[in-house]
Structure 1
Amino acid sequence: MERVIFHCDLNSFYASVELLSHPELLAQPVAVCGDPESRHGIILAKNESAKAFGVKTAETIWQARKKCPRLVLLPAHHDQYRLYSQKVNAIYERFTDLVEPFSIDESWLDMTGTLHLFGSDPEAVADQVRRAVREELGLTVSVGVSFNKVFAKMGSDYKKPDATTVITRENYRELLWPLPVTDLLFVGQAARRALAEYGMRTIGELAAFDRETLGRLLGKQGYTLHDYASGTECSPVIPARDLPGPKSVGNGFTFPRNLTGWEELQAGTAALADEVAARLRRHRLKCTTVQVTIRDPNFRDICRQKRLDAPTHVSRDIAGASMGLIRASWREGAPVRALTITGQNLVAEDQAAEQLDLFAAGAAPRRDKLEKLERAMDGIRGKFGRDAISIASTVEAAGSEESNGRGTP
């Protein structure tokens, strides 16, 4: 049976979610950005009106405003983006139980076994998916329909916004092979240059190249890219429940101003550790190692690790270990531009046996109480938002730092 794969890509996702709260801005060019006052004042997302002015993701705010002086800037609300991502995927799961998130705003759906429940025409069913998302959540989605995951993704990119594109065995050569190789999944500038050396500048030229020769030239990547271009890729859609868990969970901040002194570093460390611990609890994991990466104003990094006495997903434990590493490896008063804290060597929380300290018999009960406290905080934040409750030592830091998005979403 020929597979039927959808790739669903939410249009201008961050900006679209923000505009749900600002309908008066729908007709104006809008961008979501980092703090304009910080050194990370960059464009994170933009709506279609801003795109028409040439505004691009990852460019600086001053570059974007040079192109579009009337650009309206809105701050990012990442908790809302995660919430709407979950809502959208819940809609997808009404059509099939085989839904594989690719990013916060993209998912593959394997419709092979369920298409007949909604009709025999894949394009019409894709339109049903788009209509459900638009009517229930106020967001638009572009859907690519094809016989494999790579071509389905290229279909969702082919026509935007709010469109369905069907790529079949009959039309993929006409639609996709004239496109530049950089339109193919995972072909960046380094791969583009390598392929261009052998005369492959379009997807069609890549597909026409001898597969074995390409494999000898580029190794495993050569075989993979040839399969992508020629339409022979056949990887399965793996639902989120079956995807492997993260190997590490981390979070980093780049500060609007350099931090100096233990007190400022303690506040920044507490905020980072709080987020890392919350993410570990979401994945039902504990870390047995904490790693700290410190960056100075000259972009020099140092990295230190520490094995913990017991597995944990408690922010106080992670913050304490992190601050211990900082004090041991950093000169007091030396400026810090950025910090990253990562929990490593993860174990499932129900398998995290603790080695009891005979000289600190109360350690495990105290940790159990802290776990219950922080899970209660998770519940409050899930209902009322991330800012509804904070650990006291993170309150000051929360207003002075900007997440760089590292780590598990």
Structure 2
Amino acid sequence: MGDRVILHCDLNCFFASVELLDKPALWEVPVAVCGDPKSRHGIILAKNEPAKRRGVKTAETIWQAQKKCPGLVLLPPHHELYREYSRRVNEIYDRFTDLVEPFGIDESWLDVTGSLHLFGGDARALADRIRATVRAETGLTLSVGVSFNKVFAKLGSDLKKPDATTVIPRSGWESIVWPLPLGDMLFAGRAATETLRKYGVETIGQLAACDRALPEQLLGKMGRQLWEYANGLDAVPVRPRYLAEPVKSVGNGTTFPQNLVKWEQIRAGLLPLCDSVATRLRRQGLYAGGVSVAVKDAEFRTASRQTRLTAPTHLMRDIYRTALELTGQIWKPPTPVRALTVTALYVTEEGDSFEQMDLLGGAKRRQDRRQEQLEGAMDAIRRKYGRSAIAFGDGEEGEPHTEE
């Protein structure tokens, strides 16, 4: 069987480009989409090419961006609009193949192996045709990578921006890929690259050439996977978007209008996050096997802890108790807390928390069933009257209770 033909399509400066569709006067002006500084969500979410050339970076604070680029035009985000354009673009991709896998809101892989012959048989020409179609119908531009696997297709789309097609062919791919910094490769994050750099591995080629045992020893399964990617051995299929990927985690986080400096404030901040996570688990028929908490301080430093649960659960009570315990391990008073995140881990479709045998026996199971009924009743009230109709309140010593 011949090589696969995989495209990776990346919408250029997506949020900013959507915002500027009806603002042609700003096309050549440095523009950034950002959160609301007044509510302290003041980071750069996206920037256009002129802002990028001035050094503005995604995820930096607004004041850092403005220091680099005085006169930077700031626009608020419109996430519903971005989702609508993402849907429209992916529907365009559907015209060329039924194997379309979104990778975030602005990127998608397309496996055109089986349909390429319908469009002339030239992969580069097809990529150019898709770029032209998206631009004509939406006004947005794409960078497209063409290769024989997903990792190299993604790498190709990153090499030339904006509005370009880059081919990394089977023949001679090493001369294109191996000189690149290791951090350019998909899933080679900062921690992994810094670890490997200590052992003299700084490029993709150096990783490919080293003994396979080294990255595996240093990074575990991820190290082995990165070594395979560096050697062109990625065989992961493109997953059609209508085949939902199994949920691995469910989380929620928030940045607070003012720093939290008291345990009572932190406890109150955790409550709605745990409630949201538990509600989403129940809505999807899922159970958490573990919980993690991340705490960000006023200096933007983040500390996190996670733990396994004794039994799977989708009850707010259990998630909240665990989140309180983990946060207590992290937080050192009076360190100001800027943001909190709670995540349900090891998510499965099966839960047995209400049938667990323990020292309390039937009493424990009856308590769990009552809590299940209580939280289920709250779900029903919220479906009928809205989420704000009923909420958990914080009881004594952090035990949650309900209040209308």
TM-score, shorter chain, exceeding 0.5: yes
Q: CA offsets per residue over residues 55-76 of structure 1, 9 Å max, x none?
A: 1122222221122111011223
CA contact (8 A) 1:306 1:321 kept: no
CA contact (8 A) 1:211 1:226 kept: no
Which amino acid in the other structure matches residue 35 of structure 2?
G
- Counterpart of 1:391 (choices 388, 392, 399) is 388
Aligned to 1:68: 69
Whether 2:36 is the aligned partner of 1:35: answer: yes
Quote the offset at 1:361 in angstroms: 10
Aligned to 1:11: 12
| Secondary structure, aligned partner of 2:52 | helix
Structure 2 unaligned runs (5+)?
Answer: 356-361, 392-404
| Secondary structure, aligned partner of 1:187 | coil
TM-score, L = length of structure 2: 0.72
Q: CA offsets per residue over residues 259-296 of structure 1, 9 Å max, x none?
A: 47899778755753575367547755465887766667
Structure of higher RCO (CA pairs closer than 8 Å, 6+ residues apart):
1
Which amino acid in the other structure matches residue 258 of structure 1?
N
Aligned to 1:235: 236
Quote the offset at 1:79 in angstroms: 4.1
Q: CA offsets per residue over residues 345-376 of structure 1, 9 Å max, x none?
A: 64549x89988998999988876665456557
Aligned to 1:104: 105
Question: 1:165, 1:367 → 2: CA distance?
Answer: 52
Aligned to 1:93: 94
Question: CA, structure 1 residues 107+57, in 2 after alignment: closer, same or farther (shift >3 Å)?
Answer: same
Question: 1:201, 1:290 → 2: CA distance?
Answer: 34
CA contact (8 A) 2:294 2:302 kept: no
Q: Paired residues, what number?
A: 376
Whether 2:180 is the aligned partner of 1:179: answer: yes
- Deviation larger for 127-136 or 186-195: 186-195
Question: 1:263, 1:99 → 2: CA distance?
Answer: 47
Question: 1:44, 1:369 → 2: CA distance?
Answer: 38
Question: 1:305, 1:224 → 2: CA distance?
Answer: 25
Aligned to 1:384: none
Aligned-residue sequence identity (percent) comes to: 52
Question: CA, structure 1 residues 291+143, in 2 after alignment: closer, same or farther (shift >3 Å)?
Answer: closer
Quote the offset at 1:308 in angstroms: 12
- Deviation larger for 44-53 or 83-92: 83-92
Aligned to 2:158: 157
TM-score, L = length of structure 1: 0.72
Aligned to 1:342: 343
Question: CA, structure 1 residues 374+106, in 2 after alignment: closer, same or farther (shift >3 Å)?
Answer: farther
Aligned to 2:117: 116
CA contact (8 A) 2:97 2:111 kept: yes
Aligned to 1:385: none
Aligned to 1:401: none
CA contact (8 A) 2:270 2:323 kept: no
Question: 2:30, 2:343 → 1: CA distance?
Answer: 37
Question: 2:94, 2:19 → 1: CA distance?
Answer: 24
Which amino acid in the other structure matches residue 134 of structure 2?
V
Question: 2:298, 2:49 → 1: CA distance?
Answer: 36
CA contact (8 A) 2:311 2:353 kept: no
Quote the offset at 1:78 in angstroms: 3.7
Q: CA offsets per residue over residues 215-241 of structure 1, 9 Å max, x none?
A: 576465554333322323222222345
Question: 1:180, 1:390 → 2: CA distance?
Answer: 48
CA contact (8 A) 1:130 1:140 kept: yes
Question: 1:339, 1:120 → 2: CA distance?
Answer: 51
Question: CA, structure 1 residues 358+178, in 2 after alignment: closer, same or farther (shift >3 Å)?
Answer: closer
Q: CA offsets per residue over residues 109-158 of structure 1, 9 Å max, x none?
A: 21111222333111222223223333333322211111111111111011
